[in-house]
Each structure stands twice: as C-alpha cells, then as structure tokens.
Amino acid sequence: MPDGRSFQHVPAPIEALHRAVTSELPGWKAQALACPPGRPRDVEERLQGARKAGVLALICPAEDGRWGVVLMRRTEDGTPHSGQLSFPGGTEERGDGGDLCATARRECWEELGVPVDEAHVVGPLTSLYIPPSDFWVQPYVAWTDRLPEFALQADEVADAFVHPLDELPDPREAWPACEVVARNRTWNVPGWPCRGTVLWGATAMMVAELRWLWGNR
C-alpha cells in the first residue's frame, strides 16, 4: 500500500492501521511490553554483523469474521527457535534484490502457500535484533480480505492459524508471565496462550507493537 495509492476497496480498519503504521511507530515502548527479562537492548555493534531477515504480519479475517493475525508454529528441528510461534519469514536471498519486504512476501508463499501482493503491504514495524540466532529482523504488515488456505512447508512449519487481534493483551499493557521450555530450560517470560502453546520472545515483541497500533487506530 505505497504512499499515494488509492484506498478504494480497502476496509476501514486496514486504512486506519495504515495511517498508524506510517506515522511515528511506538518502537521499544511497545516491544518492551512483551520483552523477556534480561534480554539485551539492540545496539549498533550487534546490528552491523547480524544476518538480515524479513517477516510478515499478515492481517486477515478469522473464522468468526474478526480481524486477526496469521501465526505459524515451527517444526521441532533443534534450531534456536524450534517449535516456537512466529511470523512467516526468513533470511534475505540474492533474488530478493535487497528488499526485505520481498523476502517476507516470498517466505510467506514458500512456508504457508499464501501469496501476498505488494499492493497489500501496509508498511513496516520497528526492526528487532534476535540474540539467539543473530538475526536483524524487519517485520512488515500486510493484509488480505479473506481467510487464507494454508499449504504448509512441512519440513519447516508444523501449524498455521489466525489469532484474533482483540484476543491479545490490551495495548500499552505489559504481557503476563508464562512458563515456557526452551534450550533445555524452563523460563518465566511475558507471553500469551495461543493454540495450545505460548506466544513469546521476539515474535511476541513484534505482536505487541502491532497490537498497540491496532488498538490505537
């Protein structure tokens, strides 16, 4: 949804979200609501050597018609984010032409079988460094007017679903503590129950900013 593009046929909630995303983002104020304790702040030295990735927060109607966001659960493969909830996305590739939004849209198609046209991109959220995997991640928001039909990339994605945005923590409120198991340890971290597991970590921090913007359209 580039600047200057007509908003004809765009639902009013998405038009309002576009205005919120393209104004001043809350950034760390929102991300901190779901930030695990002890997580290092993003600093320039880390970002310079980090690998780049793009992820897509796809907004669409849930089964009951309420607006929701697509989340996926990664397979249990022993990697740093094994089994965790995330947005579709991944590492920048040469064919993406240095465009991390193109990376995010490509990965959404490869991982979930859901095509996203450039015209349906609302805009970027605040970028985030992920210490366990040494990625600098740029999230983008996009939308579709129908519930996607998922065709999962089985070796990477165990599940995908739409979680209603109004069933996430309220904007500007800290996320409650949840118990999760990661890297052979049990952690108490800010999180939210979703589909029998817990949304936490970097994806929760991105979702917290999205929820802030959605709730303050």
> Residue 177, by phi and psi: left (phi above 0), alpha (psi -120 to 50) or beta?
beta
The domains located in the chain, with CATH, are 12-215 (3.90.79.10)
Rounded average pLDDT over 176-196: 90
pLDDT for the residue numbered 76: 81
- Residues 6 or more apart in contact with residue 68 via CB below 8 angstroms: 59, 60, 61, 62, 162, 163, 164, 165
Query: Is the confidence at residue 124, as pLDDT, over 80?
Result: yes
pLDDT for the residue numbered 131: 82
pLDDT for the residue numbered 216: 77
Query: Is the confidence at residue 6, as pLDDT, over 60?
Result: no
pLDDT for the residue numbered 3: 43
Looking at residue 36, what DSSP letter applies?
P
Looking at residue 33, what DSSP letter applies?
G
Cross-strand pairs, 59 = 69, 143
Calpha distance 79→82 (Å, rounded):
5
Contact between 144 and 116 (Cβ < 8 Å): yes
Mean pLDDT (the chain) is: 90
Based on the number of CB atoms within 10 Å of its own CB, is 135 exposed (0-12), middle (13-18) or buried (19 or more)?
buried
Rounded average pLDDT over 123-135: 89
Tens of pLDDT along 73-120?
A: 999 876 666 789 999 999 999 999 999 999 999 999 999 999 999 999
pLDDT for the residue numbered 49: 74
Spell out where 21-149 has E strands.
Answer: 51-61, 67-74, 85-86, 89-91, 121-124, 128-130, 135-143
Tens of pLDDT along 15-54?
A: 999 999 999 999 999 999 999 988 767 666 666 778 899 9
The two structure tokens encoding residue 200:
């936490």
pLDDT for the residue numbered 133: 79
